[in-house]
Structure 1
Amino acid sequence: MATTSSDPDVRSRMESESELIAMCVETATESGDTVEAWRRQRRSLERMPSQLAEALLHRLLHRRLLFPSLLEVFKNTVEEIDLKGENCVDAEWLAYLGAFRHLRSLNLADCYKVNSAALWAITGMPHLKELDLSRCCKITDAGIRHLSSVPNLERLCISETGVTPEGIMLLSSLTHLRVLDLGGLPVTDTALSSLQDLRKVEFLDLWGSKISNSGAALLQVFSKLSSLNLAWTKVTKLPNLSSLAYLNMSNCTITSIFKGEGDKAHVEKLIASGATFADVSGALLNVKISFISHLDLSNACIDSFYFLAHLSSITYLDLSGSSMADDSVENIACIGANLRYLNLSNTKVSSTGVGIIAGHASNLETLLLSHTFTDDSAVPYIGMMPSLKVLHLSSTRIKGWINQEGSDSALVPSFSALKDLTSLERLELERLQIKDAALCPLSSFHSLKHLSLLSGILTDESLLHLSAMRNVVYLGVRDAVLTNAGLDSFSPPPTLRVLDLSGCWLLTEDAIFLFCQKHSNIDVRHEHVIPDKGGSSNPSPSDQLKRRKKMSISPSGFNNAAKKNSQSKQRQKLSVPPLVFDRRKFLETDQRLKYTREELMALQFSSTLFPFR
């Protein structure tokens, strides 16, 4: 029987080989001396598989061990190079890259030192098929003349460069192009007309160009066009482009799409963010909207939402910032069965609208309701959406309490209604008037990995509720009234990796330092934590605090520090009962809790009003 990649033995062998390759690459890029040692063994590198050579090259680049002359070692093996955003890349680098015999893909996006003259080195490269020069502002028409001698280019990105309409006309000789990104360039109707020989183009990006409806009419010559971006243009109507599957007309005034004879386009993804529709039903009259699976109408000016009921294949719907309100939500309920993503942020939808959708969105995974009129009465409806993974309720009217069923006076935490959402992984509760006790139900949300809170009325008590969360990886408790004692008593969940305490103004540097000492595996974010400016790509705030603390201790203070450390270790050996939150005790020990942030700031600077005696 033939062995397939699905066999356990084969999978295990492939995983072992991957680990071995990773170890080899790690060892080979350990230091500059290591690189110099194997650099001399050029013959062995020539026999290296291209994937391994590319992994080695990019690891050297990541560790800042790659320099132009070292590129020569890889010229016979590497097929793909990604140098995006590397500020050191200039004409010298391209001089070496021009000798790469098998180079198929080169990404130089955001390499601001690359100019037109530097492109001369890659002229005539027979195997080069993909070239990205996006945002290389020094590339002009002269550089395009060099590219005209790269015969087999299939993908070219020159968005936001210095190329003019005259330079764009020079691209007509690149007849193998399938992907052409001219975003942000002054493409005129005349320039677009000169590209009619590029009959293989499938992806065309013209955002921010100067083409008009006359120029848009020329798009019909691209019979294989499947993706088109006309955002930020003056195009108001499109001819029938039957092959189109993706269309972006964001920030355009749209009157009609695909008007004309022939089969209607089966557009699957339509982006019209910030667009203006005088008559949305008329504009979409020639669109087979039953094929649309992804629709973005965020911040769009729309007169009616009746067309939504016909989006039978929709899975992604963004109506944020639109005029959507409760009286139009029924159109969403009609298509709720297929929805996976729904964004109603910054709309006029209230709890009533959420109730209409509930029961019709059993497969919904992401629901965004930030900056809406929803209150606590919407939470039980949300609890009826069993597949939810992401929920945003920031800046709503939710306070965390709701009347118990059958009672006019008894209040229960509203978040208890979400306890059956066993797939919920991310919850955003920022800028809400919720108090500590309202967070109690969250301790039983065992699937939650990301919780973001931002409130000026949360206190140490909230940390006690949140410490019981089993699987949380990111926890944000920003702008809260947390004290040093509260942070010291906080027992973080074992899975916690990021604790964001930004804006917690009562916390001192010493308190955060001590917390980082006890929990070195947690990335603490606060104004007292200074990001690492060194070579570390993922700086550890706890390490930063340790270094700062060590530098601040004078020689005379080492004995006291050692004594305190010894006493601390002795206390750890003793059996200490768990701390119980007592707000009265904290009020007695930290008088700052009696004041608001504004009052404390006034008191802080009031001493400058009185002369010292």
Structure 2
Amino acid sequence: MEEREMMEEERESGLVRLCIEAASESKESIEIWRRQRRTLEKMPTPLAEALLRRLLRRRLLYPSLLEVFKHCIEEINLQRENFVDSEWMAYLGAFRNLRTLNIADCKGINNSALWAISGMDCLKDLDLSRCTKVTDAGTLHLISIPNLEKLSVSETSLTVEGVKQLSSLRKLSLLDLGGLPVNDRALRALQELKKLEYLDLWGSKISNNGAGLLKTFVKLRFLNLAWTEVTKVPYLPSLSCLNMSNCSIMSIFEEGYCGVKHPHLARLQLHGVSFTDVHKAFSFIDPSRLSFLDLSNSSLCNFQFLVNMTALEHLDISFSRMEDDSVDLIGRVGATLKFLNFSNTRLRSVGIESLAGFIPIIETLILSHTAVDDFALPYIGMMASLKVLDLSNTNVKGFCHMLGNDQEEILSLIALQNLTRLERLDLEETQVRDGALQPLSCLIHLKFLSLKSDFLTDISLLFLSSFPKLKYLGIRGAVLSSAGIQSFKPPPMLKILDLTDCWLLTEDALLSFRENHPQIEMRHELVHTGSTAQVASGNASPAHGTSRTVQLKPKWVKMSSCPSRFQIENFVDERRKYSREELLELRFSPLSRVSAP
């Protein structure tokens, strides 16, 4: 969510951003411009939607204020806003050009709230996912929306009878029924939806017989049958994306296959599946068309079926039984790979060596929770197109010994200096120490760096100031002192500093850093980041709260407003008397949990 908001702000021009900031500064500024109705009615849609998003984010949006946007808004996203109720929907029902409405996860939405949008002929896309108060009675309002093309009602309280009523929405191209008790009888009723291209039935109660009815949806491109009892998928020539995660698979596309042509299947998600015969299951799929394959959490140990998948761009085999001797099969089809996930497999550095030079355009490589160590880094350094590298929970130390000389250590992370496109690096839960971080300063395009280790101290902060584009920096669980964090000069573009589990830091040091760098969001147990959200309705106060603020958790229940009688400069930090090893021992000592008298 935060990344999406940052991208939206970056797309806005400087002048537009200034205008939006001024318009959403406070409830007083809102009252000034809301009276200019003619101007607002002619506001360009992109500008109006940007202003609406900003007001919503700052908790300055309330139901009656929606009225000024009713002529210029085409899309509105209110997902997870639990204050949205029948009153909000009454104003939204008057929007003349609203095409897309997302009210997923809004706990205040019920059947009566949907009455306001019944018959709304401009509405084409409606998301009611996880609105648990919507029942079969609410479908009467939904089927009155004549031009609805996309409808999501997953995890609502609809029953089979409610689902059957949706068959009158003949213009539907997308229907999400995930988590609903859809059975063969309900699916038979939906055969009237001849334009359906996207059908989500995860967790439904359809059988293999019901799956045979899917052949009547001749335009179907996306099908989700995850968590169902379906074991055989019929021949669906138009299908391009299939999800059968957590199913027991006997065959895919075998039933009804006439040998004329293979389906145009490009994406196949098989997380947690079990196969009766994996080679038979894949024998009716054209391997040369498949670009996305998820085999995570499967019990597969034979990956020979990968050999002819020459168009693969995304391959996830995490939590599988992949070992070093099977990695060369991936190398044979690696020319097009951009995403590769080996997390929680039996892979070692030897396996990475066999990949070197065979995945030339790889952009994301995930090796977390594997036995990979520093000897794999030179081979990773040859993957020049890498943008995301996850080495968390591996055996990487940042140092390695010269062959034949166990006494001389060399910096192993220097092998990553050729990764000039790298934007994200995760080294959490490794044994990397302070001095090993120095070579990373050459990664000038790095935007996200995550570290978590009690081997890191204040010295590491010296190497972490030089990244010109770094936006997120995590140094969790490090032995950082208050003096170290106060002297730290953060990178110029840093927006988030995560110091979680840095237990030596004091509240005063965190507050001082926050005052010196107010543009940086700090994360720590002693710092509370949140927003107050007083929800107003009707003509009540328009302010729903304030923008995100950083507050320190109070140490006492009540604090005096008078100046403290104690001077900070007279405070002596007794922890300085101990060595780093003694501090770590004291951290887990029973004495550390004794409360002060």
TM bracket (short chain): 0.7 to 0.9
Deviations 1:185-206 (A, max 9, x none): 1100110011111010001111
Counterpart residue identity of residue 586, structure 2: E
The range that moved more, 52-61 or 243-252, is: 52-61
Q: Relative to total residues, which structure has the larger helix share, 1 or 2?
A: 1
8 Å Cα contact 2:523-2:529 kept in structure 1: no
Structure 2 residue aligned with 1:505: 503
Q: 1:235 Cα shift?
A: 0.9
Q: 1:283 Cα shift?
A: 0.6
Residue 89 of structure 1, aligned match among 84, 91, 100: 84
8 Å Cα contact 1:84-1:108 kept in structure 2: yes
Structure 2 residue aligned with 1:569: none
Deviations 1:200-246 (A, max 9, x none): 00011111111111111110100000111111111111011110111
Q: 1:381 Cα shift?
A: 1.4
Q: Distance in 2 between matches of 1:145 and 1:421?
A: 57
Distance 1:513 1:252, change over 3 A: same
Q: Distance in 1 between matches of 2:123 and 2:17?
A: 28
8 Å Cα contact 1:131-1:157 kept in structure 2: yes
Q: 1:399 Cα shift?
A: 2.1
Q: Distance in 2 between matches of 1:124 and 1:602?
A: 67
Q: 1:114 Cα shift?
A: 1.6
The range that moved more, 173-182 or 392-401, is: 392-401
Q: 1:30 Cα shift?
A: 3.9
Q: Does 1:104 align with 2:112?
A: no
* More RCO (CA 8 Å, sep 6+): 2
Q: Does 1:591 align with 2:578?
A: yes
Structure 1 residue aligned with 2:528: 530
The range that moved more, 16-25 or 507-516, is: 16-25
Q: Distance in 2 between matches of 1:63 and 1:466?
A: 32
Matched position secondary structure for 2:335: coil
Q: Does 1:404 align with 2:402?
A: yes
Structure 1 residue aligned with 2:430: 432
Residue 62 of structure 2, aligned match among 59, 62, 67: 67
Distance 1:486 1:52, change over 3 A: closer
Distance 1:531 1:52, change over 3 A: closer
How many residues align? The count is 570
Q: 1:301 Cα shift?
A: 2.3
Matched position secondary structure for 1:142: helix
Q: Distance in 2 between matches of 1:130 and 1:540?
A: 37
Structure 1 residue aligned with 2:175: 180
The range that moved more, 443-452 or 214-223, is: 443-452
Matched position secondary structure for 1:422: coil
Counterpart residue identity of residue 442, structure 1: L
Q: 1:132 Cα shift?
A: 1.3
Structure 2 residue aligned with 1:446: 444
Q: Distance in 1 between matches of 2:100 and 2:340?
A: 37
8 Å Cα contact 1:279-1:303 kept in structure 2: no
Distance 1:201 1:331, change over 3 A: same
Structure 2 residue aligned with 1:123: 118
8 Å Cα contact 1:513-1:546 kept in structure 2: no
- Percent sequence identity over matched residues? 53
Structure 2 residue aligned with 1:313: 311
Matched position secondary structure for 2:415: helix
Q: Distance in 1 between matches of 2:171 and 2:513?
A: 60
Residue 555 of structure 1, aligned match among 560, 563, 572: 563
8 Å Cα contact 1:91-1:114 kept in structure 2: yes
Q: Distance in 2 between matches of 1:403 and 1:170?
A: 70
Structure 1 residue aligned with 2:27: 32
> What are structure 2's unaligned runs of at least 5 residues?
1-9, 533-544
Q: 1:307 Cα shift?
A: 1.4
Q: Which of these two proteins has the greater Rg computed from alpha carbons? A: 1
Q: 1:46 Cα shift?
A: 3.8
Matched position secondary structure for 1:310: coil
Q: Distance in 1 between matches of 2:595 and 2:528?
A: 29
Structure 1 residue aligned with 2:293: 295
8 Å Cα contact 2:59-2:546 kept in structure 1: no
Deviations 1:235-265 (A, max 9, x none): 1110111101111111111111111224211
Q: 1:592 Cα shift?
A: 5.1
Q: Distance in 2 between matches of 1:33 and 1:447?
A: 41
Structure 1 residue aligned with 2:549: 539
RMSD: 3.1
Structure 2 residue aligned with 1:331: 329
Matched position secondary structure for 1:196: helix
Structure 1 residue aligned with 2:591: 604
Relative to the length of structure 1, the TM-score reads 0.85
Deviations 1:354-384 (A, max 9, x none): 1001121221111111111112211111112
Counterpart residue identity of residue 433, structure 1: Q
> What are structure 1's unaligned runs of at least 5 residues?
1-14, 566-585
Deviations 1:422-446 (A, max 9, x none): 2222211111223333323223333
Q: 1:528 Cα shift?
A: 2.0
8 Å Cα contact 1:156-1:177 kept in structure 2: yes
Structure 1 residue aligned with 2:108: 113
Residue 347 of structure 2, aligned match among 325, 346, 349: 349
Counterpart residue identity of residue 423, structure 2: E
Structure 1 residue aligned with 2:384: 386
Q: Distance in 1 between matches of 2:368 and 2:16?
A: 46
Q: Distance in 1 between matches of 2:73 and 2:168?
A: 27
8 Å Cα contact 2:531-2:547 kept in structure 1: no
Matched position secondary structure for 1:391: strand
Deviations 1:487-517 (A, max 9, x none): 3444444443333221122222233333334
Matched position secondary structure for 2:463: helix
Distance 1:20 1:432, change over 3 A: closer
Structure 2 residue aligned with 1:211: 206
Q: Distance in 2 between matches of 1:352 and 1:455?
A: 26
How is 1:129-278 mapped onto 2 (pairs within 5 angstroms)? 129-259=124-254, 260-261=257-258, 262-278=260-276
Counterpart residue identity of residue 419, structure 2: L
Matched position secondary structure for 2:372: coil
Counterpart residue identity of residue 191, structure 1: A
Q: Distance in 2 between matches of 1:63 and 1:519?
A: 21
The range that moved more, 393-402 or 225-234, is: 393-402
Distance 1:44 1:360, change over 3 A: closer
Relative to the length of structure 2, the TM-score reads 0.87
Q: Distance in 1 between matches of 2:472 and 2:593?
A: 38
Distance 1:608 1:364, change over 3 A: closer
